[in-house]
Structure 1
Amino acid sequence: MPPVLTAAQLAALDHVRRSADARRAEALARIGEVCDLEELIAGVRAHGRVTLNFHPDRHVTGGLTVAESMARDGRYRSQFETGHSNGGLTAFPGGDRDRWEERIFGGAYHRGAFTPAERPVYGGLNLADHADGASPRFGSCHVRLRPAVLERCTFSFGDSHLDPPDWGTIGSFHGVLAGLVESGTALGLAGTDGFALLRGLPGTSRGVGRSLDDYIEAQVHGVVDLAADAEALVLDPSFRGTGTGELLAAIARDAGIGVEWHAGFQLTAPEVPAGFRGSAIPPLAAIVAAEFGAGFIDAETVGRAAATLRDDPARWTRTGTPPEVRQYLKQLWHTLVHLGRPSPPPHPQNSR
C-alpha cells in the first residue's frame, strides 16, 4: 500500500503539477512535432526508476552512519531529518534548501509548524539505467525504487539548487522532457539523444554512467520505506567484506529486497589530476591512498578518511579547516566517479 500523504505533501505535488500544466503549450512548442510523444511519456511511467544515491558510511545527526540509520527502522530519510547531505548542508529552517523548497513547492511545507519528516527525499530518475544510479555525485550506493513511487514524485531537469526552469510530475512531464531534448546530452550518454533514449525503454543496464551533473532530479514526497518502496540496494564493491557491506546486506534481507553490485571506481593517487576539481585534490588523494587505502582510493577509503575528519579533525589541520576538507573529500569522490577504473576484488582493509 502506498503511504498516506500529508496535506503539505499533497499540496507540494499539486503545486508542481499545476505549474507544469500551465506551461505545457510552451513545452510542446519546444519539443516540436513528435508523433509518439504520449507513448514516450507513458514509457517513462512504465519503466522509469528513481534512484536515491547515498554514502552508507557517512554519519548523520545522533552519531549513526547512514546505513545504521536505515537499519534502525528500514526507512530512507531526508536531509532535514538526518542533518546530513552529500551536497550542500543547508537543510534547516531558513537555510538555502529550506528557501528553495519554499519557492519550488509554493510554500506547501511552510504553512504550519516545521516538520522535518514531511520533507521530500532527493534522488534522480534513472532513465539511462546507469548501474551507479542517476546521480552518483551524491553517493557510491543507491536505493532503486519501485515504479509506483513515480506517482508521488516531482521532477526537475537539472539540480534544484540551480533553479532550473523545467519541472513536472509523472502525469505532467512535458516540461522535463523538453529540457531533456534540448540538452542534447541524454543524461550523459554519448552519441544519443533524449528521444532515442526514451524509445529504447526498457533498456538493459549500460554499466556505470558517471553522470555527475547531467540528471533529472527527483523529489520523493512521503515516507520511503524500503520494504514497501524499494526494489534493491545497489552497492559499491569496495564495501564487500566490510561491516558496512554486511549491514547493508542485512538491511536488504530484512526488507525482502535484492542486493546488487556495480563495478565501482578506483584510482591511485598519481592518477588524480589537478585540473578536474582543483589543485587541493591531488595532495589529499596522496594522504587518503597512503593512510587509508594501501596505495589506492575508492569509496570505502574515502569514507574512512571522512570518518577521521569527524572523530579527529586535528589530524587534518595541515590540509584545511573541517569544512574545507569535507569539500575536498566530496571533490575527490567526484574525481573517482569521473575517472576511476572498475574496482578489483576486495582489498585487505575490507576485512575490518
Structure 2
Amino acid sequence: MTAYPGGDRWRWESRIFGGAYDEAPAHERPVYGALNFRRKPEGGAPRFGSAHFRLAAETLARTTFCYPDSFLEPSNFGVAARMGLIELALADRQDDLDDYIEAQVHGPVRPKCHVEALVLDPCYRGTAVEVAALRLGCPVEWHPGFRLRVEELLRHPGYRGQEYVDLGARIAVDGVLNPRIVADAARAGHHDPQAIKKVWHYLARFGAPCSVADDSESPAPTEGAVLDGLR
C-alpha cells in the first residue's frame, strides 16, 4: 500500500532492514504476519481479517519480528533463535486487537510449499470462498468462528464510536454479525470502507472465539507459538 519509494511502509522497512529493500520490486519485499504466541485459534492478529495462513516451521529461520507494530517505529526486534519479544508482549496491557507480535517473512510464501493450513471462519463453509481455498494446494482448516449479536455490539459505543455501532446494527442479519456479513457489506460499496473496517474491529474484538491457550505461559517460538501469514 505505501511500499513505494518514500511511502510510509518503504520508510519503515528502510529503517528496520538498513535499506536492504530500498530498490526491491514489490514481489521481493517482506510478507507480513504475526507470531501467534497466545496460540489463538482465530490467528495471531485478527484485526487484519477472519482468515489466516498458518506457516510451516521452516519459515521461522527467515523471519524477523518486532513489537509493537512496525508503523509505531519500535526499537525491539528479534529472530526465532533470539526472542525476547514474547515477554514484552505478555507484560504489556494492549487492547486485544493490538496484542500481537509483528512478523516479517523474507523470501517467498507459497501455499503449496510454505503453508501448513489456510484457516477460515466457518461462515464460509459451502461457499465460493471454500471452493477457491481448496484450489490453493494447502490444507484448509476452520477455527471456531467470529459471531457478534447486536445486543452485545450495542454495549460498546465507546470502543470505536456510536456511528460504527449503528452501522453494524444496520448491516446485521437476524441480529447477528459474522465475517461474511461484514465482507458482503464491504463489497456492496454502500458504505465508507473505513467505516466497515471499524465494524470489523467490533466483530473481531467482541465476537472472537474463546482462546484455547493459557495466556500465563510464555513459550518460545519453537515451543508452541505459531507463525501466521497475514498481509
Q: TM-score, normalised by structure 1?
A: 0.55
1:304: which partner in 2?
184
Offset at residue 185 of structure 1 (A): 4.0
Q: Which has the higher contact order (CA 8 A, sep 6+)?
A: 2
Residues 103-182 of structure 1 aligned to structure 2 (within 5 Å): 103-110=15-22, 112=23, 114-173=24-83, 177=84, 179-182=85-88
Offset at residue 149 of structure 1 (A): 0.3
1:284: which partner in 2?
167
1:226: which partner in 2?
111
SS of the aligned residue for 1:302 comes to: helix
Partners of 1:212 and 1:277 in 2: CA distance = 12
Partners of 2:184 and 2:5 in 1: CA distance = 30
Q: Aligned residues: percent identity?
A: 43
2:224: which partner in 1?
none
Partners of 2:93 and 2:165 in 1: CA distance = 28
Q: Any idea what the Cα deviations from partners look like across 1:128-181, whole Å, max 9, x if unmatched?
A: 2210111111110110011110011110022111111111222343xxx1x432
Bigger Rg, which one: 1
Q: Partner letter of residue 169 of structure 2?
A: A
Residues 21-40 of structure 1 aligned to structure 2 (within 5 Å): none
1:239: which partner in 2?
124
Greater share of strand residues, 1 or 2? 2
Q: Partner letter of residue 75 of structure 2?
A: P
Offset at residue 90 of structure 1 (A): 2.6
Partners of 1:186 and 1:235 in 2: CA distance = 29
SS of the aligned residue for 1:124 comes to: strand
SS of the aligned residue for 2:40 comes to: coil
After superposition, the Cα gap between the structure-2 partners of 1:222 and 1:154, relative to the gap in structure 1 and judged at 3 Å, is same
Segments of structure 2 that go 5 or more residues without pairing to the other structure are 210-231
Q: TM-score, normalised by structure 2?
A: 0.82
Offset at residue 341 of structure 1 (A): 6.0
Aligned length, in residue pairs: 207
Partners of 1:133 and 1:123 in 2: CA distance = 10
Q: Partner letter of residue 184 of structure 2?
A: R
- Larger mean CA deviation between 94-103 and 267-276 belongs to 267-276
Partners of 1:104 and 1:279 in 2: CA distance = 37
Does residue 275 (structure 1) correspond to residue 142 (structure 2)? The answer is: no
Greater share of helix residues, 1 or 2? 1
Partners of 2:174 and 2:161 in 1: CA distance = 24
After superposition, the Cα gap between the structure-2 partners of 1:187 and 1:244, relative to the gap in structure 1 and judged at 3 Å, is farther
Does residue 329 (structure 1) correspond to residue 187 (structure 2)? The answer is: no
Contact 1:128-1:187 at 8 Å conserved across structures? no
Q: Any idea what the Cα deviations from partners look like across 1:15-69, whole Å, max 9, x if unmatched?
A: xxxxxxxxxxxxxxxxxxxxxxxxxxxxxxxxxxxxxxxxxxxxxxxxxxxxxxx
After superposition, the Cα gap between the structure-2 partners of 1:300 and 1:185, relative to the gap in structure 1 and judged at 3 Å, is farther
SS of the aligned residue for 1:151 comes to: helix
Contact 2:37-2:86 at 8 Å conserved across structures? no
The Cα RMSD (Å) is: 2.1
Partners of 2:59 and 2:133 in 1: CA distance = 22
* Poorly superposed stretches of 4+, deviation over 3 Å: 182-188
